[in-house]
Structure 1
Amino acid sequence: MPEPSVSFPLRHVTTPNPTELQHKHWRELDAELPSVCVVHGAPGTWTFKLYLSSHPYVPYDDLSLPRKILHDFLRPSARRKRSEYRRSRKIWVKTRWPGCSACRQYRRERRALSLVLVSLTAYLITGPISPLTEWMPADLRSSLHLFGFFLIVPAAKSLGSRLDLSRATVPENGTDLVVRNPHTDFAREALTLGARQQSERVSPPGWWKRSALR
Structure 2
Amino acid sequence: MATGLDRQQGRFAGHVFRDPGLLQQALTHRSAGAPHNERLEFLGDAILGALIAEVLFTRWPAADEGTLTRARAELVRESSLAAVARELDLGARLVLGPGEMKSGGHRRDSILSDALEAVIAAVYLDSDLDTCRATVLPLFDRAIAALATGRIAKDAKTRLQEWLQARQRPLPVYELLSEGGEEHAKVFLVRCVLADVSIAAEGEGTSRRAAEQQAAEAVLGMLDASR
What TM-score, normalized to structure 1?
0.22
Comparing both structures, which one devotes a greater share of its residues to helix? 2
Higher relative contact order, structure no. (Cα contacts within 8 Å, ≥ 6 residues apart)? 1
What TM-score, normalized to structure 2?
0.21
Q: Is the radius of gyration larger for structure 1 or structure 2? A: 1
Comparing both structures, which one devotes a greater share of its residues to strand? 1
